[in-house]
Amino acid sequence: MLERLVALALENRIFIIVAFLGASGFGAWRAADLEIDAFPDTSSVQVQVNTTAPSLNAAEIEQQIALPIELAIAGLPGLVESRSVSKFGFGQVVAVFSDDTDIYAARQFITERLNSIELAEGIDRPQLGPISTGLGEVLHYVVRSSNPSRTLSEIRELHDWVVKPELLKVPGVAEVNSWGGFEKQFHVIANPEALVKYGLTMSDIEDALRRNNENVGGGQLDRAGESLLVHGLGRVSSVDEIQSIVIRAVDGQPLFLRDVADVRLDHEIRRGAVTFQGQGEALLGLGFMLLGENSNEVTGALRARLAAAAQALPEDITISVVYDRTELVSQVIGTVKHNLLLGGIFVVAVLFLLLGNMRAGLLVAVTIPMAMLFAVVGMYEMSIAASLLSLGAIDFGILVDGSVVMTEVNLRRLREEQARLGRKLSSKERLACIVASSKEIVRPIAFGMFIILVVFVPVLTLEGAEGKMFRPMAWTFIFALIGALLIAVLLSPVLSYYGLPWNARPERHGLAHLLTRIYGFVLHGAIRARALVIAATIGAIAGTVMLVPKLGAEFTPRLSEGSIVGNVVRLAGVSIPTSVDYNTRIEKQLLQEFPDEIKYVWSRIGVAEVATDPMGTELTDIFLTLHPREQWTKAASQSELVAQIQETLRDLPGQTMGFSQPIEMRMNELSSGLRSDVGIKVFGDDFDELIRIAENIQRVLLDIEGVSDISIDQITGQPTLQVRIDSARLARYGVPREEILGFVEAMGGIEVGVIHEGQRVFPLVVRLPDALRTDIEALKNAPLPTESGAQLTLQQVADVVITDSPATINREWGRRLIRVQTNVRDRDVASFVAEAQRRIADEVVLPQGYIIEWGGQFENLQRAQLRLAIVVPLTLLLVFLLLYFSLGSLRDVVIIYTGVPFAAIGGILALSVRGIPFSVSAAVGFIALSGIAVLNGQIMVSAIRGYRKQGLSLLHAVLEGGKQRLRPVLATAITDAAGFIPMAMSTGVGAEVQRPLATVVVGGMISGTLLTLFLLPILYLIVAERVGAHSEPPVESKATVGV
């Protein structure tokens, strides 16, 4: 069938050329619409459920919010994990679904379950988080004012009501979040003494505000044939109107709100803040991209709309974009383009040198752009973004393998035929020659490239984060290889007819001819010294096997994003002003120490308006946007810069600090709830016991090489002012409990309505005076407004004490836990975890009912290793069977398969020499290497078998087959390696992920090619001699070795 396809292609040459040009044009058209991103999104399908309850502490949030929601969503289709975080006033439940679950269906499932539960009064309705992912946070911008008199409340108002609505109009935006500043509110500050004087309670104030701040409808009236709508307008809209609300009449005189309370503009009790550039507080805006959108397009549109919105702001307001995901995308794609361009140049140069003919090299080089355009079409149809992983692992050398062999054979046969006839071939003779030679080689070419396709099947079976990361790469490579196969089988013969020299003189000089002569003599010498060659090979294999345990392992290398995040942990209960002061000092110090490295530095304290990341005020994320690396003067790499920053901040008191990167941190959080490389989760019920176990684990980890940035969840130690009502004393005075609770609740503020200022809406809140909120003794002695008029103070009916309470309660699958988190520096993660697991098992005693689970990126590595350990052998077995059915000789298939471990030798040695741990990226390199090794082995064995069929002796067949296949084997091997050399040596942004894969292929091609050219012929000769499949003189006879 393949032979017939080749013949048809050569019979319809013009049609084939036009068809491939049309397909390439279609690919170029699709390329313009192809999504571009830095790397694949590995986030799981998850839904955040956020609930606020200002009056509840962490334990009450757990019992009244987290637990009911967890029970409600249990058993949902596709649910694989549920996590929750409970803090004072806020609870978040995260539902994680299987990857095949539609995000909109998952949100619908959760919404239906939430509608079925009843939460206690005073708890806000649960809200779903934005439809975004770990890669969704695409834009950070800071809003500031050059006017010292402009308050943070005014800046926040301008952002929320001018800038934010404009950004939300951008297609593909899931959410625009505000972090920092103050939300404007209208505050009614009740005066307890005045309330007691007039016999009022807090409830009276609240009811008066609710009754006197509303509009009503009175239906319709008919008047002279027209209908009039009746509308009563009673909403208040200013401080003066609020103050003039009448509460009741006293002795015939109105009692106004201003008589018992002060009304003023104020702000919320905030749970987060932002500092910037060591200049104090600012407002941070965050743009979130909708799941599945094009990050480049959305971010570009956000920036354009942001610039337009800034025109409507006062002149003193400035907006600075401090983090833009497209900058990382541009840098990563720049690295990919650079590597692909250099790889392409190397491949074409090698083709010119080895094929010995400029025209032949150009004809083969045509495969590269055409195959890539085929890949673009497949990527577009499967919604695969052009990224570091999907494009960065494509080797042009592998793509041209089939065309190299096809063109080389056609060129050689044209030369042989012209030499035989002694004249230039006619068009008909030329066509017949190319038809015959193409038919001869098309089956091995197609079969060999099909084998490379098959060996990538294991990558397609990867699941979880590793599957999302590497499946796009495999699909892209498969699409490109299918295009290359079609080009080699259909287009290359046609191009050979038109493009190869018409006067193809036999090659007597040149690099390829010289290499063939040298190879013939060296191969003959190796055959004579075969025992030494085999012994050396066995020694190399043994030595390499001993290196494997020393390599170490990690999931993927840490990709340098060009930005750094410092995760700061302070004592639970630290105030926001204190954190602001600390962060401002840190920012100033960093900018002074690293002016050439750090462009922007800003800090996020606590939580934003939409709490996608529920941090307490004791937690701060310090973001550092870096200058281009060429500008740096104090560090050569990002890891070195992080080490210097750690040293600079080491002596700061009262805090611990770890370092990560924006996307890396967010992806870790969403995938496992962790912010670090490794997390140890201790499950149990008692907080004190959990803390004791965690501290013991921390003690063990600190003694292990490679530990860095270690931290323990602060689950206790939150200072809490408790007002404990004494029922007996309360009954003695005949005061209802709700009056006392209302008084306490007013310390934080009770929202009783909203005030409209045009289209802007602001909360109306009743609160106690600041003096009672900041002075505990004053609070104890504050008069209690009671309905009975009893003259009481708070301490007469309640005990006011300061105590510690849970700061944060984390749960997974309904179980409490505490986490010990650590990063790993200057050591591979797998060996660190192995040692830590052994040490903790030996040295940490767990009480009954307490268990330990390990989490982090190494889980992905273990899952990938387990999957590949099953699928790769099955795939290699399938390839083995395919080869056997093709060749019909078990002996030949086994000989071909010796190339796989031989190639692996070079890959392992290359990793060891460069100090690169084994990773999933390296595993993909070994998978690709196995296919190339099998292909080269098949090419060599096929040539030897061909000469045997022509009647040559075994020795002559081995020697001639080796010489004949030297050029295509070298061409495929060197081009394959050359295509990956730029990736292996690149230091650009994102190169870290490509480097292990490229290093394995380059190293493996060196060893694999040497062993294919020398050891494989020797093995073929030895095995054939042992089975008696020859009748020629012994090796030591005077066999002709000439070229």
- Predicted confidence (pLDDT) per residue in 436-489, tens digit: 888 888 887 888 788 888 888 888 888 877 888 888 888 998 999 999 999 999
Q: Please report the pLDDT score of residue 376 as a whole number.
A: 92
412's tokens: 């050689």
Q: Please report the pLDDT score of residue 506 as a whole number.
A: 58
SS3 732: helix
Same domain, yes or no: 441 and 483: yes
Is the residue at 830 inside a domain?
Answer: no
Same domain, yes or no: 1029 and 908: yes
Is the residue at 1004 inside a domain?
Answer: yes
Is the residue at 215 inside a domain?
Answer: yes
Q: Does the structure show a pLDDT above 70 at 1041?
A: no
Same domain, yes or no: 495 and 611: no
Residue at token pair 């209302």:
742
Domain CATH number, residue 642: 3.30.70.1430
Distance CA 47, CA 70 (A): 12
Last residue of a domain, one of 756, 776, 805: 805
Contact residues for 474 (Cβ-Cβ < 8 A; gap 6+) = 456, 459, 460, 924
309's tokens: 């919105």
Domain CATH number, residue 398: 1.20.1640.10
User: Poorest-confidence range of 141-145, 409-413, 595-599, 604-608?
Assistant: 409-413
- Cβ(158)–Cβ(312) below 8 Å: no
Contact residues for 336 (Cβ-Cβ < 8 A; gap 6+) = 388, 391, 392, 990
Same domain, yes or no: 539 and 390: no
Is the residue at 173 inside a domain?
Answer: no
Q: Please give the mean pLDDT across all residues of the chain.
A: 86
Same domain, yes or no: 385 and 401: yes
885's tokens: 């059915």
Radius of gyration (C-alpha) of the chain in whole angstroms: 37
Same domain, yes or no: 531 and 588: no
Same domain, yes or no: 418 and 392: yes
Q: Does the structure show a pLDDT above 80 at 356?
A: no
Amino acid at 841: A
Q: Please report the pLDDT score of residue 67 as a whole number.
A: 94
pTM across the whole model: 0.82
Distance CA 849, CA 787 (A): 51
Last residue of a domain, one of 805, 828, 860: 805
Residue at token pair 């050399």:
981
In total, how many domains does the chain have?
Answer: 4
Last residue of a domain, one of 635, 660, 685: 660
Is the residue at 317 inside a domain?
Answer: no
Residue at token pair 């009503």:
216
User: Poorest-confidence range of 297-306, 537-546, 712-721?
Assistant: 712-721
Is the residue at 350 inside a domain?
Answer: no
% of the chain exceeding 70 in pLDDT: 96
User: Poorest-confidence range of 347-361, 751-765, 970-984?
Assistant: 347-361
Band of residue 1030 on the pLDDT scale cut at 50, 70, 90 = very low
Domain CATH number, residue 750: 3.30.2090.10
Same domain, yes or no: 392 and 468: yes
How distant, in Å, are the alpha carbons of 282, 573, 587 from that of 602? 9, 22, 7
Band of residue 219 on the pLDDT scale cut at 50, 70, 90 = confident
Is the residue at 442 inside a domain?
Answer: yes
By residue range, what is the domain housing residue 788? 184-268+719-805
SS3 150: coil
Q: Please report the pLDDT score of residue 730 as a whole number.
A: 83
Distance CA 182, CA 574 (A): 19
Whether the CA torsion 632, 637, 638, 640 is positive or negative: it is negative
Contact residues for 559 (Cβ-Cβ < 8 A; gap 6+) = 39, 388, 661, 664, 990, 992, 993
The sheet with strand 317-324 has its strands ordered as 173-179, 283-289, 137-145, 317-324
Is the residue at 962 inside a domain?
Answer: yes
- Cβ(406)–Cβ(442) below 8 Å: yes
Same domain, yes or no: 1018 and 911: yes
Mean pLDDT of 151-177: 93
How does DSSP classify residue 629?
Answer: G
Same domain, yes or no: 499 and 525: no
Same domain, yes or no: 212 and 223: yes
Same domain, yes or no: 906 and 1033: yes
- Cβ(555)–Cβ(245) below 8 Å: no
